[in-house]
């Protein structure tokens, strides 16, 4: 399963003027789309979180946790025909601005704020995050819950 590829292709900033603008013009690609990610197969047993290091420039990190469509709040992503009326609802959590994550290889190496961010994503997805990428190199990974 590659939900990341679908999310990036649908909402990325790079595709201005294409389907990106039509589907979600009000949400930058750096925002975690928790409500959209709930549209995953129910058999998902764990997840991988990529590019955690690129959020290090933020002092506060927005998480899209729901949408409001025609005054009604919903925790899942609305159907495409409603997206033009969908307002993303954000929860903001403290970031770890200025802290370099690229050398982290263990959960304990991450700043507490980064750990809380990952913990919050796990709660939103109701799925453990077992792998976290923290840099551009192949070994820039943190494995959690290893047997």
Q: Is residue 15 part of a domain?
A: no
CATH number for position 138: 3.90.170.10
Confidence label for 52 from pLDDT (cuts 50, 70 and 90): very high
Task: Judge contact between 63 and 26, C-beta under 8 A.
Answer: no
- Is-above-0.75 flag for pTM? no
Q: Is residue 71 part of a domain?
A: yes
pLDDT in tens, 96-144: 999 999 999 999 999 999 999 999 999 988 889 999 999 999 999 999 9
Q: Is residue 10 part of a domain?
A: no
Q: Is residue 22 part of a domain?
A: no
Q: Is residue 58 part of a domain?
A: yes
What's the rounded Cα separation, in Å, for the pair 142 and 92? 24
By CB atoms closer than 10 A (0-12, 13-18, 19+), residue 16 is exposed
For residue 35, give its domain range: 29-143
pLDDT in tens, 60-77: 999 989 899 999 998 887
Q: Is residue 90 part of a domain?
A: yes
What pLDDT was estimated at residue 5?
32
Q: Is residue 43 part of a domain?
A: yes
- Domains: count for the chain: 1
């Amino acid at each position: 399963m590659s939900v990341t590829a679908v999310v990036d292709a649908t909402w990325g900033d790079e595709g201005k003027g294409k389907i990106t603008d039509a589907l979600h013009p009000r949400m930058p690609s750096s925002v975690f789309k928790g409500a959209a990610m709930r549209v995953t197969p129910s058999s998902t047993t764990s997840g991988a979180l990529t590019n955690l290091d690129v959020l290090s420039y933020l002092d506060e990190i927005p998480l899209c946790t729901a949408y409001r469509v025609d005054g009604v709040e919903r925790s899942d992503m609305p159907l495409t025909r409603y997206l033009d009326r969908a307002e993303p609802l954000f929860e903001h959590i403290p970031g770890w601005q200025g802290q370099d994550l690229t050398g982290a290889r263990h959960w304990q190496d991450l700043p507490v704020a980064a750990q809380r961010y990952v913990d919050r994503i796990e709660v939103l997805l109701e799925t453990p995050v077992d792998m976290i990428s923290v840099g551009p190199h192949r070994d820039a990974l943190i494995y959690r819950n290893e047997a």
